[in-house]
Amino acid sequence: MTSAAPTSTNRPTAQVVWGVAEPAPLTGVTLTPDGSSVIYFAEAGTKRSLRALEARTGKVIWEADLSDRGSAVNQTITPPVVVGDSVAAVIADGEGGRIRVFDVRTGARVGRDSPVAVEIDQLGPCPDGRAWCFIGDTRMHHPLPTLRYAPGDRSFSPAKAGLVVVNPVADPFEYIVDGEVQWTLDPQSIMKTCPRYVCMRGWATIGEVTAMGFRESGKGGHLVSTTVAAFTTRTGRKRWVSPGDQLAQVATQSGHFSHEGDVYVFTPEPARVNGTYDDFDVRLLYGGRLRALDPETGKERWSVALGRSRFQPRLTRLSNGDLIFDEGNQTRLLDAASGDVIADRDLSYWRSSTDGPPGRRARLDITEPMIDGGPSDTVREPIPDEIGVQAGDLRIVAQPNGVYAYR
């Protein structure tokens, strides 16, 4: 299926071939290496499981209960990560978590569970594709290293996977790669009135440049000043500062922060940054702009006007670099190079639901875009390439209350 939408109002539709409604998916779906099945995390009440469905029929091939030993921390909420013929899940255990590995074909457990780790963050495939890497350790210390865990391993081993953490509660701030502090930053060197520990609001590493957002709050936590600054990723040398801007965090289709493209910022009208609104109040951005800044220089490449958003605007970067810009009451597809609105795409697949509070579907909105209004007997074609997975002639998509296959 292609990504370009036809302009005719009589658009062709894809029919539901099968659907599995319960338990509802907690994440998007992952296609197994041979394309015969899809795997996803599911949740029904307090029960959480890892499920595999036959791609052709939707039949449950296997289901593994992910038992909880008294804690909800560290549980994987991004799509399952397959390494070879194995898939990993994070099992909560007391104050930490363990990695449990399953055979993607049978659901049988592979080896023992990993040791208990106090933190398992950014779990994903290692660069060599033969194990999982994550930030964490079996005991809490600072900074946490990057560790490696392969199917059948009895312990973790050190790894170099390029996993980055910015620690905004250290004094000064720390930029950490694979457990090693690369450089530090005194936030008051950027914003003199910035209170330590609480003034950073987001960061993004884009190649050789790392951008950070800063803000100062006054009485009642209301915003009185904002700034975005950029630094050389390797050394921490300051490159440029853009006062009055808020850093816009951009998500990928898999729910991780995007580290490609430009530095994107929200620029409120200066008169609104007056101690009336906090930095998550959407009224702060009424009359403002979304701007794309050159990472190297901070110069504006393009800007678009913000509407009267229903919630904090969300940016999702598609595989071709273009941006889905969702403000709740309107959704626009922006050309990443020019900021122009691309008008010939059907955006209903990314449009937020209007039948409840804006945060109700936020987790699934991030991990897998969904069709507005929930499952339907038919959906408009073509289904964008970024939605779900393609298994033969079927497109399999996770939606708020079920996994559905369309042809």
Q: Is the peptide bond before 313 cis (omega within 30 degrees of 0)?
A: no
User: Residue 196: what pLDDT?
Assistant: 58
Q: Which residue has the higher pLDDT, 36 or 253?
A: 36
- CA 229 to CA 3: how far, in whole Å? 36
User: Residue 75: what pLDDT?
Assistant: 53
For residue 86, the one-letter residue type is S
User: Residue 363: what pLDDT?
Assistant: 32
Which band of pLDDT confidence, cut at 50, 70 and 90, is reported for residue 119? confident
For the segment 32-57, what is each residue's pLDDT rounded down to a tens digit? 989 999 999 888 877 888 999 999 99
User: Residue 372: what pLDDT?
Assistant: 41
Question: Is the per-residue pLDDT at 146 higher than 60?
Answer: yes
For the segment 311-359, what is each residue's pLDDT rounded down to a tens digit? 888 898 888 889 989 887 888 999 999 999 998 776 766 665 443 333 3
Which band of pLDDT confidence, cut at 50, 70 and 90, is reported for residue 381? confident
For the segment 155-204, what is each residue's pLDDT rounded down to a tens digit? 999 999 999 988 887 888 899 999 999 999 988 888 887 765 568 888 99
Structural domains of the chain sorted by starting position, each given as residue range(s) with its CATH number in brackets: 186-367 (2.40.128.630)
Question: Is the per-residue pLDDT at 92 higher than 60?
Answer: yes
Reduced to 3 states (helix: H, G, I; strand: E, B; else coil), residue 305 is strand
Helix-strand-coil split of the chain, %, nearest 5: 5, 45, 55
On average, the pLDDT of the chain sits at 83
Residues 206 and 228: beta-carbon distance below 8 Å:
no
Which band of pLDDT confidence, cut at 50, 70 and 90, is reported for residue 65? confident
Question: Is the per-residue pLDDT at 369 higher than 60?
Answer: no
Question: Is the per-residue pLDDT at 70 higher than 60?
Answer: no
Question: Is the per-residue pLDDT at 2 higher than 60?
Answer: no
Nearest alpha-carbon partner for 300 in 255, 330, 338: 338
Q: Give the predicted TM-score (pTM) of the model.
A: 0.82
